[in-house]
Amino acid sequence: MQKLIITAAICGAEGTKQDNPNLPITPLELAREAKLAYEAGASIIHLHVRDEKGEPTQCGKTFDKTIKLIREKCPDVIIQPSTGGAVGMTKEERKQPLDLDVEMATLTTGTVNFGDGVFYNSPEYIEYFASIMQDNNIKPEIEVFEVGMINNALNLLKRGLIEAPLHFDFVMGVPGGIPGTIKNLTLLVETVPEGSTWTVAGIGRSELPLAAAAIIMGGHVRVGFEDNLYYRYKQLAKSNAELVSRVVRLAKELEREIASPHEAREILGLIKE
Ligand code: KMH
Ligand code: ZN
């Protein structure tokens, strides 16, 4: 099996300090949290940023500042900004981090209910983000909230808007999206084309069992405050690093080695000649 790539989704757009006071919000807090997660074993930082009020923003300047601070503290970590942002943002708002010097970014290939809201990704939106990523040489991580989104990605592949090998992130357990069960994970894994890589982001209580399943099945794992604010039932996580460290321990027990950022780049085809 490939070495295990761990992604730390350190902040997200939805959680608040009221939900968990350890949630990083400012550029400096995000950079410190990224460093701890990296030292614990994460090779990718999936990044959202917030404004001065702690609200989600896709402001290019805030991303730029945060990315620079993260690179000062852990120069080789892979930084993967979100193009999803928060529910209700326009495509122009959401694309801002794609103007920066980044290797990867997320690309959601379909619309899905998202709690009480709608995470809007029309064909026009999807094509818009995919084209910019292609022009700027940014590898998309295809965010899959429902099984049909895999087919939408294959459509983009056929039309030359994204390139194989594809890399997917199965986001499972969002209220409105595919439930976070092992049966559904198996379906998603069987549906992606051979030669693809995949990771799983289990939301809330499905984070831990899906991480364990992915380690065994040869996939990769995403954990962090974006997906889950708790370490266990009724116990808030102290840091993203605490969640990453648990995945590292599980992987060791299950005889899966952890990928360094360089090894993650090799696995994901990010190293260009
Ligand atoms: N915050 C969600 C509405 C992504 O990062 O690309 C979208 C999201 C996906 O988090
Ligand atoms: Zn995200």
> In whole numbers, what is the pLDDT of the chain averaged over residues?
98
Output the ligand 1 site: residues, CB below 6 A: 13, 82-84, 86-87, 106, 108, 114, 119, 143
Between CA 169 and CA 9 the distance in angstroms is 12
- Is it the case that residue 6 has pLDDT exceeding 80? yes
Read off the pLDDT band of 272 (50, 70, 90). Answer: confident
Tokens matching residue 263: 């090894």
Contacts (Cβ under 8 Å, ≥6 apart) of 185: 170, 172, 200, 210, 213, 214, 217
What is the reported pLDDT for 273?
64
Residues constituting the chain: 273
Atom of ligand 1 nearest to the CA of 13: 1
Beta strand 112-114 with 235-236 is: unpaired
What is the reported pLDDT for 224?
98
pLDDT tens figures, 116-174: 999 999 999 999 999 999 999 999 999 999 999 999 999 999 999 999 999 999 999 99
In the chain, what percentage of residues exceed pLDDT 90?
99
User: How is the chain classified by DSSP, letter by letter?
Assistant: -PPBPEEEE-S-SS--TTT-TT---SHHHHHHHHHHHHHHT-SEEEE-EE-TTS-EE--HHHHHHHHHHHHHH-TTSEEEE-S--STT--HHHHTGGGGSS-SEEEEE-S-EEETTEEE---HHHHHHHHHHHHHTT-EEEEEESSTHHHHHHHHHHHTTSS-SSPEEEEEE--BTB----HHHHHHHHHHSPTT-EEEEEE-GGGHHHHHHHHHHHT-EEEESTTT-SEEETTEE-S-HHHHHHHHHHHHHHTT-PBPPHHHHHHHHT----
Confirm if 210 and 186 have CB atoms less than 8 A apart: no
The residue type at 136: N
**Ligand 2 centroid vs 185 CA: distance in angstroms?**
19
In the chain, what percentage of residues exceed pLDDT 70?
100
The residue type at 8: A
Taking CA 213 as the corner, what is the angle to CA 174 and CA 194, rounded to the nearest 5 degrees? 90
Output phi, psi for 31, to 5 deg. Answer: -65, -40
pLDDT tens figures, 222-244: 999 999 999 999 999 999 999 99
Q: For the chain, what are the domain ranges?
A: 6-268
Average pLDDT over residues 171-187: 98
- Residue of minimum CA distance from atom 8 in ligand 1: 84
CA distances from 170 to 25, 236, 272 (A): 25, 24, 26
Give the CATH number of domain 6-268; options: 3.20.20.70, 3.40.190.10, 3.40.50.2300, 3.40.50.10190: 3.20.20.70
Radius of gyration (C-alpha) of the chain in whole angstroms: 17
Between CA 47 and CA 199 the distance in angstroms is 16
Between CA 55 and CA 11 the distance in angstroms is 11
What is the reported pLDDT for 236?
98
> How many CA atoms does the CB half-sphere of 4 hold within 13 Å?
31
**Ligand 2 centroid vs 135 CA: distance in angstroms?**
22
Atom of ligand 1 nearest to the CA of 119: 3
Which ligand has the minimum distance to the alpha carbon of residue 125? 1
